[in-house]
Amino acid sequence: MCICPCILFCQESDSYPAGYFQLEYTFDFFNYAGIHRPVVLYSVPAAVSIRDIRVDTSVVEDLSAATVAFNVTVDVEEGEEEEDVECSVKLVDADGAVVTTSRGGVGDTYLFDICRFGQQG
């Protein structure tokens, strides 16, 4: 038996023959035909994976210094301890040179002479 994920509309008027009906589908796929919308599939390691990365920046008005605050949230497998996860954050400049590194998933980095990070000339 097939359960139809749709709504049945009976048309009762002189324009349609007796018993005529229409289906309005309430799904975005067809059996044996695939999904009719964009889909992104990804996998994560079983024991530990990054759930979210948040980066907040603030720059002083004269552009002489800036702060980069970060927070890395991880998911751990049941039975594992989040405290056992090691996280390292690196900030690189426009040339790819490492400017600063930090250990741990939460922190602030203070930067000076920040024009070298993207201001040209």
Q: What is the pLDDT of residues 28-83, one digit of tens each?
A: 666 666 666 777 887 777 788 888 889 998 888 887 888 889 998 888 887 777 77
- Binned at pLDDT 50, 70 and 90, residue 1 comes out as very low
55-81 burial by CB neighbour count: b if 16+ within 10 A, else e? eeeeeeeeeeebebebebeeeeeeeee
**Annotation: CATH topology of 48-117:** Immunoglobulin-like (2.60.40)
Averaged pLDDT for residues 91-116:
80
pLDDT at residue number 35: 67
pTM score: 0.52
pLDDT value, residue 5: 63
